Amino acid sequence: MHVYHIPGPAPMLTNTYLAVDDGGTAVAVDPAADVQQYRDSLAAHGAHLAAILLTHGHYDHVGSAQALKDATGAPIYMGLADAAHSRLLPMRPEQIDHGLGDGQILTFGGLSLQVLATPGHSAGSCCFLCGDVLFSGDTLFAGDIGRTDLDNSDPDAMAATMQRLWQTFIRSQAVQVLPGHGPFSSMAEELAGNYYLRRYGAR
Ligand SMILES: [Zn+2]
């Protein structure tokens, strides 16, 4: 699998990704950049888009989802709790082809992604574990976590999510963390140095 980083527009500069398997099957994670960037990257790698995966429904992560679906026919996957059709959470329920549930395994060509429901930053937040890569959305950042003071946020749920991530990865730390904003990290670094993971996980 190859993962290509496609930054979204300023000022949010959301990290968005295309994951492509050796056979040319691709998934887009949080498409927020211009649709043409995904089409160019797909063409450059001889790949076709099989799915659009949204870590959560915030506007800065879903901006191109519908246009990319229209352009490629790829279905949209997202936690249905985030389909609120509000300014912050613009997706409508009818735009979501498949809701996401904890523990689900999504398979597209040679790509297999495990869904981890990680509520807290938003009620429908999920992370996707694909091999040794975790697409962590706005749940886990390098040295930080997502905000929990927004509509649809829940600090208690975030604390439980941190505990869950700790328990899930403490024995399998060789995981690259590709977050929704900011620098990339690794689970080993986060387990060692992320204040929130340590505070809520190690209790
Ligand atoms: Zn967010």
Residues 95, 97, 102, CA angle at the centre, nearest 5°?
A: 115
Q: Is the pLDDT of residue 111 over 70?
A: yes
Please answer whether residues 102 and 111 qualify as being in contact, where contact means their C-beta atoms are separated by less than 8 angstroms. no
| Residue-averaged pLDDT of the chain | 97
Annotate 59-118 with DSSP letters as a single string.
HHHHTTHHHHHHHH-PPEEE-GGG---SSSS---GGG-SEE--TT-EEEETTEEEEEEE-
Distance 146 CA to ligand 1 centre (A): 7
Distance 125 CA to ligand 1 centre (A): 8
CA terminus-to-terminus distance, the chain:
35
* 2 contact partners, CB below 8 Å, separation of at least 6: 19, 20, 45
The three-state secondary structure class of 129 is strand
Distance 39 CA to ligand 1 centre (A): 24
Give the whole-angstrom CA distance, residue 101 versus residue 36.
30
Distance 80 CA to ligand 1 centre (A): 15
pLDDT tens digits, 114-142: 999 999 999 999 999 999 999 999 999 99
Distance 153 CA to ligand 1 centre (A): 10
Give the whole-angstrom CA distance, residue 63 versus residue 59.
6
Q: How many domains does the chain have?
A: 1
Please state the pTM of the whole predicted model: 0.97
pLDDT tens digits, 34-72: 999 999 999 999 999 999 999 999 999 999 999 999 999
**CATH code of the domain in which 58 resides:** 3.60.15.10
Distance 106 CA to ligand 1 centre (A): 22
> Which residue in the block uniquely carries the two structure tokens 């992320």?
194
Distance 121 CA to ligand 1 centre (A): 7
Distance 191 CA to ligand 1 centre (A): 22
pLDDT tens digits, 64-84: 999 999 999 999 999 999 999
Distance 8 CA to ligand 1 centre (A): 13
Rounded average pLDDT over 146-158: 96
Distance 54 CA to ligand 1 centre (A): 11
* Confidence band, pLDDT 50/70/90 cuts, at residue 203: low
User: 101 is in which domain, residue-wise?
Assistant: 2-201
* Confidence band, pLDDT 50/70/90 cuts, at residue 202: confident
Please answer whether residues 165 and 85 qualify as being in contact, where contact means their C-beta atoms are separated by less than 8 angstroms. no
Distance 150 CA to ligand 1 centre (A): 9
Q: What integer pLDDT is reported at residue 100 of this predicted model?
A: 98
Distance 172 CA to ligand 1 centre (A): 26
Distance 16 CA to ligand 1 centre (A): 13
